[in-house]
């Protein structure tokens, strides 16, 4: 039976616990806020269970390297695209436009 990537309890090869702490960056707080606003009262675009399902569908390598809010924003993107609120292409385009501006 293949264990799912998020199902970590008792997972072998887990190393020491890094107790270093970083202050959340603005984009991490914005990502957190995006989910709470979009799933919250008045919007109800999705429930936290759907966010979890989208997080769990991330491939193993990316799941392990993305970090907590990297997984969140990836899942939020999945749900937005699923619902037709945004398209993958327009997000790509916006990222490219921003890259152009900072060059």
Q: List residues binding other proteins (CB under 8 A).
A: 1-4, 6-12, 14-22, 24-25, 27, 29-34, 36-38, 40, 43, 46-50, 52-53, 55-56, 62, 64-70, 73-74, 76-77, 80, 85-86, 90-91, 94-95, 98-99, 102
Asked if 35 and 76 count as a contact pair (C-beta separation under 8 A), the reply is: yes
Q: CA 69 to CA 25: how far, in whole Å?
A: 10
CB of 91 to other proteins, least distance (A): 5
- Kindly report the length of the chain: 103
Structure token digits, residue 36: 């709470």
CB of 95 to other proteins, least distance (A): 5
CB of 4 to other proteins, least distance (A): 7
CB of 59 to other proteins, least distance (A): 11
Burial (CB count <10 Å: 0-12, 13-18, 19+), residue 71: buried
């Amino acid at each position: 039976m293949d264990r799912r990537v998020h199902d970590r309890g008792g997972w072998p090869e887990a190393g020491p616990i890094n107790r270093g702490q970083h202050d959340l960056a603005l984009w991490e707080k914005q990502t957190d806020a995006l989910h709470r606003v979009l799933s919250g009262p008045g919007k109800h675009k999705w429930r936290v269970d759907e966010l979890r399902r989208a997080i769990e569908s991330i491939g193993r390598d990316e799941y392990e390297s993305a970090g907590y809010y990297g997984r969140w924003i990836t899942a939020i993107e999945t749900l937005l695209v699923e619902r037709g609120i945004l398209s993958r292409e327009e997000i790509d385009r916006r990222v490219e436009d921003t890259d152009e501006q900072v060059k």
